[in-house]
Amino acid sequence: MSVILILGGYGGFGARLSRRLAARGHRILVAGRHRDKAVAFCDAVPNCHPVVADRDGDLAAVLAEHRPDLLIDAAGPFQTSGYHVIEACIAAGVDYLDLADGRAFVAGIGTLDVAARRACTIAISGASSVPALSGAVVRDLAVGMEQIMSVEMAISASNRAAAGASVAAAILSYAGKPLTVWRGQRRARAFGWQEIGQERFVLDDGTTLGHRLVALADVPDLELLPERLPGKPAVSFRAGTELAVQNVTLWLASWLVRWRWIGSLSALAPWLLPLQRRMAGWGSDRSGMVVRLFGLAGGKRVERRWTLIASAGDGPEIPTLAAELLAERIVAKELAPGAGDAGPMLALEDFAPAFAGLAIRHETRQIAQPAPLYQRVMGDTFARLPDEVRRMHEVLRDGGAHGRATVERGTHPLARLVGALMGFPRAGEHELHVGFREDQGVERWTRTFSAQSFHSNLGEEAGQIVERFGPLRFHFDLPGDEQGLTMVMRSWSIWRIPLPLALAPRTMAREWEEDGKFQFDVPIALPLIGPVIHYRGWLTPDAE
- pLDDT tens by residue, 55-66: 888 899 999 999
CB 163 within 8 A of CB 157: yes
Nearest to 129 by CA among 159, 178, 174, 167: 167
Q: What is the mean pLDDT of residues 145-151?
A: 96
Q: What is the pLDDT of residues 217-252, one digit of tens each?
A: 999 999 999 999 988 999 999 999 999 998 999 999
Residue 163 has pLDDT above 70, yes or no: no
Residue 405 has pLDDT above 70, yes or no: yes
- Model confidence at 543, pLDDT cuts 50, 70, 90, reads low
CB 489 within 8 A of CB 474: yes
Any bridge partners for residue 181, and if so which? 188
Q: State the pairing for strand pair 300-310/360-368.
A: antiparallel
Q: What is the mean pLDDT of residues 6-17?
A: 93
Which pLDDT value is given to residue 55? 87
Q: What is the pLDDT of residues 270-288, one digit of tens each?
A: 676 666 666 666 778 899 9
- CATH 2.40.128 given to domain 373-541: yes
Fold of the 3-129+316-356 domain: Rossmann fold (3.40.50)
Q: In whole angstroms, what is the distance from residue 86 CA to residue 102 CA?
A: 15
Q: What is the mean pLDDT of residues 363-387?
A: 96
Q: What is the residue-averaged pLDDT of the chain?
A: 93
Task: Give, in degrees to the nearest 5, the angle at Cα 241 between 233 and 168.
Answer: 90
Which pLDDT value is given to residue 280? 66
SS3 of 436, please? strand
Q: What is the mean pLDDT of residues 435-442?
A: 93
Write the CB contacts of 431 (distance below 8 Å, at least 6 apart in sequence): 402, 404, 449, 450
- Per cent of the chain over pLDDT 90 is 85
Q: State the pairing for strand pair 27-32/48-52.
A: parallel
Q: What are the strands, taking DSSP E only, across 144-207? A: 145-157, 178-183, 186-191, 197-202
The number of angstroms, rounded, from the C-alpha of 432 to the middle of its chain's C-alpha atoms is 25
Q: What is the pLDDT of residues 87-138, one digit of tens each?
A: 999 999 999 999 999 999 999 999 999 999 999 999 999 999 999 999 999 9
What architecture is the 133-314+359-368 domain classified under in CATH?
A: 2-Layer Sandwich (3.30)
Amino acid at 243: L
Q: What is the pLDDT of residues 167-225, one digit of tens each?
A: 777 888 899 999 999 999 999 999 999 999 999 999 999 899 989 999 999 999 999 99
- The DSSP annotation for 237-306 comes to EEEEES-HHHHHHHHHHHHHHHTTSSS-SGGGHHHHHHHHHHTTTSS-S-EEEEEEEEEEETTEEEEEEE
Write the CB contacts of 29 (distance below 8 Å, at least 6 apart in sequence): 3, 4, 5, 6, 9, 48, 49, 50, 51, 66, 68
Is the pTM for the entire model greater than 0.75?
A: yes
- Per cent of the chain over pLDDT 70 is 96
Which pLDDT value is given to residue 79? 84
Provide the residue ranges of all domains of the chain, joining segments of one domain with +. Answer: 3-129+316-356, 133-314+359-368, 373-541
Amino acid at 63: L
Q: What is the mean pLDDT of residues 344-373?
A: 96
Task: Calculate the CA dihedral of residues 337, 108, 215, 447 and round it to 10 degrees.
Answer: -130
Which pLDDT value is given to residue 12? 87
Residue 544 has pLDDT above 70, yes or no: no
Which pLDDT value is given to residue 356? 93
